[in-house]
Amino acid sequence: MQTLSVAARRQRDFLAFCRIECGLAPLTLEAYGHDLEQLATYLQERGITDPGGAEMRDLTNHIRWLSREREYEATTVTRHLATIRVFFRWMHATGVIVRDPARLLERPTIWKRLPGAMTAKQMQTLVEFPSPAQGPLWLRDRAMLELLYGGGLRASEVCTVKVNDFSETLGALAVTGKGGKQRIVPIGVPAIDWTVRYLAECRPTLVRAGTTRDAFRLLLSFSGRPLDRVAVWQLVKKNAALAGLTDVHPHTLRHSFATHLVQGGADLRVIQELLGHSSITTTQIYTHVTRDHLKDVIANCHPREMKAMKTKNAATQPIVKRRAK
């Protein structure tokens, strides 16, 4: 049996604590593991085989390396920093280290960057692109795209939806989001119709008799296994590229869903519930409206602007009548 390194043992015990004692979600554990592997590799290259022997300057240099050498976004660096803080806090609490060198690490400034949304026409081009010419799984791809856009789902959510989570009668999905939180998401008629058609014509051909490897998931691969988050990303990017669209991923569909609802006049609190955000602040950052829409809101809702428009219309009305005569 191969002996685990000190760093690997620390990571194993920490992740076991997070899984058993804290009940963290699998995706969170996966992110923690990835971050700690990068930290261990960085420290080992500098002669530190035990993370417990790292000093504050080592951790600071690691964060700087992620930002400058790896050119990670501030949000990614902040996530790495959060992992390091929790990891060293755990080592301090369990007596592995006497002093926590990560307690004074500062977070990088995160700018609130608004991701781009697709226009309604671009979205129509994307969701309607899958056709029989794309192969036998075109119905699955069409249903997947309709659900992502029709319900504003994350990639990790759409791939975990089970057959029984879909209700044609209610026109809704039971979705499990971040932190295991469940919500009911209503979906539109196109998403309902294409999901029903996929269930009737495509999914039965993917299920392998005598096995339970499909885990009753709604979306299956060609081999009959459930689609994972990576596969959903790949399928969205592939269909978008073939449709002539660039820089499109599952979150683009989710953001477009929210943005189009805002432009249509939906209440921000309603959008918060549909997206599964625990805080309205997240929804305010996540959704944005176009400048033209903002101008329309001012023109149609601000009392002084409305009064000015009435005065202007009244002043021009007699001129229009005289010309008509």
> What's 133's domain CATH number?
1.10.443.10
Tell me the C-alpha distance between 127 and 147, whole Å. 10
Residues 296 and 274 in one domain: no
Residue 200 lies in a domain: yes
Residues 126 and 243 in one domain: yes
Residues 174 and 299 in one domain: no
- 3 state SS for the chain: CCCCCHHHHHHHHHHHHHHHCCCCCHHHHHHHHHHHHHHHHHHHCCCCCCHHHCCHHHHHHHHHHHHHCCCCCHHHHHHHHHHHHHHHHHHHHCCCCCCCCCCCCCCCCCCCCCCCCCCHHHHHHHHCCCCHHHCCCHHHHHHHHHHHHHHCCCHHHHCCCEHHHEECCCCEEEEECHHHCEEEEECCHHHHHHHHHHHHHCHHHHCCCCCCCCCCECCECCCCCECCHHHHHHHHHHHHHHCCCCCCCHHHHHHHHHHHHHHCCCCHHHHHHHHCCCCHHHHHHHCCCCHHHHHHHHHHHCHHHHHHHHHHHHHHHHHHHHHHC
CATH number of 84's domain: 1.10.150.130
Q: Which domain holds residue 234?
A: 120-286
Residues 61 and 146 in one domain: no
- Residues of the chain scoring pLDDT < 70: 1-2, 107-115, 210, 286-299, 301, 305-325
Residues 135 and 223: beta-carbon distance below 8 Å: no
Residue 189 lies in a domain: yes
Residues 274 and 153 in one domain: yes
Q: What is the pLDDT of residue 296?
A: 66
Residues 296 and 278 in one domain: no
Q: What is the pLDDT of residue 319?
A: 47
Residues 21 and 161 in one domain: no
Residue 54 lies in a domain: yes
Residues 55 and 141 in one domain: no
The tally of domains found in the chain comes to 3
Residues tagged active-site:
154, 178, 251, 254, 277, 286
Residues 276 and 181: beta-carbon distance below 8 Å: yes
Q: Go through 230-263 and write b for each residue having 16 or more CB atoms within 10 A of its CB, e for each that does not.
A: ebbeebbbebbeeeebeebbbebbbbbbbbbbbb
Spell out the residues 6+ positions from residue 316 whose beta carbon is closer than 8 angstroms to its own.
none
Residues 65 and 211 in one domain: no
Residues 222 and 206: beta-carbon distance below 8 Å: yes
Whether pTM exceeds 0.75: no
Residues 282 and 295 in one domain: no
Residues 140 and 276 in one domain: yes
Q: What is the pLDDT of residue 152?
A: 93
- Residue 192 burial (CB count, 10 A): 23
Residue 102 lies in a domain: no
Residues 160 and 176: beta-carbon distance below 8 Å: yes
Residues 21 and 153 in one domain: no
Residue 99 lies in a domain: no
122-178 pLDDT, tens digit per residue, is: 999 999 999 999 999 999 999 999 999 999 999 999 999 999 999 999 999 999 988
